[in-house]
A and B are shown apart, each in its own frame.
Chain A
């Protein structure tokens, strides 16, 4: 065991990246009661878009907006094509559809990349090395938590203060009633996916800047971990997802620090998930729902 500042910094940064993905999960779950299994793959695709865009040597202030826009569009299209037609179908069908989309995205990525890891371009400034308290790291490690907290504040304001935010809260409380009240369910859902994908795209910029390469399955594991973070924090709660993500990111990196146990760094996340589900299924900040008979 040799816990260094390196590991803690890496943990905080990983946590921030998971948090950005986790918000997408928690918002979609809050509204559709659906685990969007494809969300992690949307995150991976965002990484690939960046890889291919930067190959065309566009300046950074053009390529980053393209990545954000492309990812948002993808998230929007997935919802329209794969989830909307199943709105009245049993829950299992929608989940299977989500798994299908995930499978499709991974295979598409495999086809396009030819299965080779694609080196992620170095984004100027944020990929630079810096030294704090004697630990050398990339600047992205330090920026991540700041970016995350900034985005979360904006998001919470959006949800609390704006009309669309109010609609989102209403839909997540009661899907049918809010429909009866004249809320345009489909646009609320689309906005949810757009926000989720946008955050995932930001997350991918930060994540891949610190991991260097993208492969078709790059999104699967961070996706699952982010989902666990969302459950841990209390599904449907945005601050919960963020707190959960930071805890998972830090714990995971501390486990990685011990070479003996490092194989369990991924398994730890799932163990945590199971413990949470059993001890407090509503998570840290979740609300209790009573089944109607």
Chain B
């Protein structure tokens, strides 16, 4: 028991150290540095992947709506933070409104929220939508749920591009000129706090109820767990954090548009979750940094002409990528972490002779 405590302390120390390292990196790295960009994006995707894992890995709800909730978060953040009237006029070029006194203004929202408030609002908007989407959809079973959530995400994307809402969403044009973090640390802090909250939730009695639902719905219900309520809690919470993740993503990108929030984005996040291990928070975090680093940096050379003459050229990286993913899906179904968590205790435990590993799959 005591040994466990010490190990937990070491874990906390390691995390603090990591954050200190990031703070230090901020002083050394230019914000356009590739490493800085990867760390930022990695942090954002880590949060989104963990939020998806909460649903798919821990509650057993196969939802493919993550891109939709990110979209809501990103748009909410962008809409409510464009700072000045001039900026709004520039952004909402095609959607200006004439006020009572005859002045022209861009867009409908004529004020800007503080960044922190806007991030929170981004999460809340996603959560509210999730609640109303969840009411009908959560009654559906596995693959029907997947396809229905995917459908809702596509509908949300269409709505955001609709001219009728142009004064809010700027139609299919970009939203830009909103504030964003230039350094790496804020992304890490926000993402870190959110992931910690999800981890705590999973550790709590609610988290156990989620896992019970994942393992066996019928038995969970017979244990007095209200399925509708708990599925909804998981769905709304997951969407809240996907919304926050979306806001961070908007910041990372500097400009935002509905177009990239397609099903492919959801698939990408799902693949991160799978690589990390379905049902492992640390797995999702590790996998998202790995994934981002590989796709944006380490494997970039595969896209360069002539590295392997005749083979490497634009697009080859993604082919290698998807092949690797298929190998993981087929042969290493547990991913990096399986459903275990990375911790000092486990690392030390792994060193002792008692090694009883189960064989993955049949």
Chain A residues with a Cβ under 8 A of chain B? 33-35, 81-82, 85-86, 88-89, 91-93, 95-97, 99-104, 106-108, 110-112, 114-115, 217, 220, 224, 227-228, 231, 260, 263-264, 266-267, 269-271, 273-274, 277-278, 281, 293
Q: Write the nearest CB–CB distance from A201 to chain B, whole angstroms.
A: 22
Q: Write the nearest CB–CB distance from B171 to chain A, whole angstroms.
A: 9
Majority DSSP secondary structure for residues of A touching B = helix
A-B contact pairs, 23 of them (CB 8 A): A81-B330, A85-B330, A89-B362, A92-B62, A92-B278, A93-B329, A95-B142, A95-B143, A99-B271, A100-B271, A102-B267, A103-B264, A104-B325, A108-B319, A111-B315, A114-B313, A115-B315, A220-B264, A260-B164, A263-B172, A267-B154, A270-B152, A274-B152
- Given A274-B148, A281-B144, are A99 and B318 also a contact pair (CB < 8 Å)? no
Docked Cα-Cα span, A81 to B60, in Å, equals 26
Docked Cα-Cα span, A22 to B157, in Å, equals 24
Closest 10 CB pairs of A and B: A270-B151, A267-B158, A111-B315, A104-B322, A107-B318, A267-B155, A110-B315, A107-B322, A103-B322, A100-B329
Q: Write the nearest CB–CB distance from A28 to chain B, whole angstroms.
A: 12
- Given A86-B330, A91-B143, A278-B136, are A110 and B154 also a contact pair (CB < 8 Å)? no
Q: Which residues of B contact A293 (CB under 8 A)?
A: 218
Q: Write the nearest CB–CB distance from A77 to chain B, whole angstroms.
A: 12
Q: Which residues of B contact A231 (CB under 8 A)?
A: 144, 147
Q: Which of the residues B60, B154, B158, B321 comes within 8 Å of A107, measured between beta carbons?
A: B321
Q: B228: CB under 8 A from chain A?
A: no
- Given A92-B62, A96-B329, output 20 extra A-B contacts at Cβ < 8 Å: A89-B362, A91-B142, A91-B143, A92-B56, A95-B146, A97-B326, A100-B329, A102-B267, A111-B319, A114-B313, A220-B264, A227-B147, A231-B147, A267-B159, A271-B151, A274-B136, A274-B152, A277-B137, A278-B136, A278-B139
Q: Write the nearest CB–CB distance from B16 to chain A, whole angstroms.
A: 35
A273 touches B148 (CB 8 A): yes
B326 touches A96 (CB 8 A): no
Q: Which residues of A contact B314 (CB under 8 A)?
A: 111, 114-115
Q: Which residues of B contact A112 (CB under 8 A)?
A: 315
A277 touches B140 (CB 8 A): yes
Q: Which residues of B contact A266 (CB under 8 A)?
A: 154, 158
